[in-house]
Amino acid sequence: MNDCIFCKTNNKEVSAKIVFENDDVSAFAPIKQVSKGYTLVVPKNHFESIFDIDKNTLEKLIAVSKDLSEQLVKENNATGINLLHASGKDAQQSVFHFHLHIVPRYENDGLDLWLREKL
């Protein structure tokens, strides 16, 4: 897609701190870091959401996400990981290229990424 920022990142049209790359998947640090080591994992091919990504590519993304999560915890002394995804406008998807967020967590980091019951 011509205007997709993640496609442009994959095609090296915009600069990014790439932390992993193979033929199917890339992972990079977003400009705005919510925690030390925060990383996005994206397929090289454009898929808008969970609804159109093929299972084979999704499996590759999950495998890379697991490996990167272990690496990020070790390298940054994190005490946990949140793995996040949103598909669709009403789910708060902001970039319409499938992606997973790996958010390393730390004691008393002040982040609250957990769902709360609507009152």
Positions marked active-site: 99
Q: How many residues does the chain have?
A: 119
Q: Please report, in angstroms and rounded to a whole number, the separation of the first and last CA atoms in the chain.
A: 40
Nearest to 21 by CA among 37, 9, 35, 34: 9
Sheet containing 39-43: which strands, arranged edge to edge? Answer: 17-21, 25-29, 39-43, 100-105, 80-84
Signed CA dihedral, 87, 93, 96, 100: sign only:
negative
